[in-house]
């Protein structure tokens, strides 16, 4: 599907709605502990569960669904005891499930599929990010599989350091795919590594990123960070916050983060200039459904 439709809508200042969490929704629905391998192992064991999640987000009004490829890279598979030579196979499976959900809902041409590139190392530790060349090598393998499987664009997610996002963007652009880069913010609203947003935006846009986002960050901190990011970026910016925290033994959900409260934060992000809004850890289809009213706010 042509990404031109999305870019045209963003150029008009429209708000695009991303989907919400996959991993924490698997935990919520299955009752299984939120271990790091859950999204991949459950996809292999119960592909229908992943397909159903995508369908639910489409039904909730998402313009973009994200294939369950976040942890399908070689180091992530190896870490949980899955043969790393299966990168292409498992990545293709994730993309196929997203496409089946979209086409089964009769939304081909209306809902777009993003291929997710997750972090290589600890999700939240900028000191654990591998060198640029290592990130680039790993991401190239996965992006090649995504391109062959027919994703519409690449979403580099949860980057704790700019070079991680750069590698994903470079790998996507090399394959002729549009790339969005999403980074984590620290408690002061900066990039998690302490790098300033102005520097991050300049580097990512020069590498070919078409949008810069913030994710996997608590909503109140994201509101602070978005004010700075929106001022620094000439490209579209976006936000998808987390409503849960990983405690090392599983997910701790924030029971007070109702869909309507989350919408209140999202309105702040749109007011600051964000035009791509969705949900990260802990969000559900009901959170995404609530975001639909933002289309009238922009």
Which structure tokens are listed for 45? Answer: 């064991």
CA distance 258 to 19: 16
CA distance 176 to 134: 21
What was the pLDDT predicted at 34?
62
Which structure tokens are listed for 278? Answer: 């969705």
Q: How many CA atoms lie within 13 A of 181 on its CB side?
A: 33
Task: Name residues whose C-beta falls within 8 Å of residue 131's C-beta, 6 or more positions apart in sequence.
Answer: 163
Indicate if the pLDDT at residue 250 is higher than 80. no
pTM listed for this prediction: 0.95
Which structure tokens are listed for 103? Answer: 């086409």
Q: How many domains would you assign to the chain?
A: 1
pLDDT tens digit string along 87-113?
999 999 999 999 999 999 999 999 999
CA distance 231 to 107: 34
What was the pLDDT predicted at 121?
80
CATH number at residue 175: 3.20.20.330
Query: In percent, how much of the chain has pLDDT > 90?
Result: 86
Q: Classify residue 202 as exposed, middle or buried by CB count within 10 Å of its CB (0-12, 13-18, 19+).
A: middle
Q: Model confidence at 32, in pLDDT bands (50, 70, 90)?
A: confident
Domain of 131 in residue numbering reads as 4-296
pLDDT tens digit string along 192-224?
999 999 999 999 999 999 999 999 999 999 999
What was the pLDDT predicted at 7?
95
What was the pLDDT predicted at 273?
98
């Amino acid at each position: 599907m042509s990404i031109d439709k999305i870019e045209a809508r963003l150029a008009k200042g429209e708000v695009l709605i991303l989907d919400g969490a996959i991993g924490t929704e698997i935990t919520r629905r299955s009752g299984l502990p939120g271990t790091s391998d859950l999204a991949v192992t459950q996809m292999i064991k119960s592909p229908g569960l992943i397909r159903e999640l995508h369908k639910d987000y489409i039904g909730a009004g998402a313009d973009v669904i994200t294939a369950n490829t976040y942890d399908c890279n070689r180091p992530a598979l190896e870490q949980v005891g899955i043969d790393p030579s299966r990168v292409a196979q498992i990545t293709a499976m994730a993309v196929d499930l997203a496409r089946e959900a979209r086409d089964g809902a009769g939304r081909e041409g209306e809902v777009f599929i993003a291929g997710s590139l997750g972090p290589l190392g600890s999700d939240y530790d900028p000191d654990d990010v591998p060198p640029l060349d290592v990130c680039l090598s790993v991401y190239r393998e996965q992006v090649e599989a995504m391109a062959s499987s027919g994703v519409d664009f690449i979403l580099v997610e949860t980057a704790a350091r700019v070079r991680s996002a750069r590698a994903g963007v470079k790998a996507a652009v090399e394959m002729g795919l549009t790339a969005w880069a999403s980074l984590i913010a620290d408690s002061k609203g900066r990039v998690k590594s302490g790098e300033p947003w102005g520097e991050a935006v300049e580097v990512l846009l020069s590498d070919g990123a078409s949008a810069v986002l913030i994710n996997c960050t608590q909503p109140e901190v994201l509101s602070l960070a978005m004010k700075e990011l929106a001022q620094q970026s000439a490209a579209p910016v976006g936000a998808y916050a987390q409503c849960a925290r990983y405690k090392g033994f599983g997910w701790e959900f924030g029971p007070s983060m109702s869909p309507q409260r989350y919408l209140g934060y999202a309105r702040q992000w749109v007011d600051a200039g964000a035009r791509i809004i969705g949900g990260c850890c802990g969000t559900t289809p009901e959170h995404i459904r609530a975001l639909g009213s933002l289309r009238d706010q922009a």
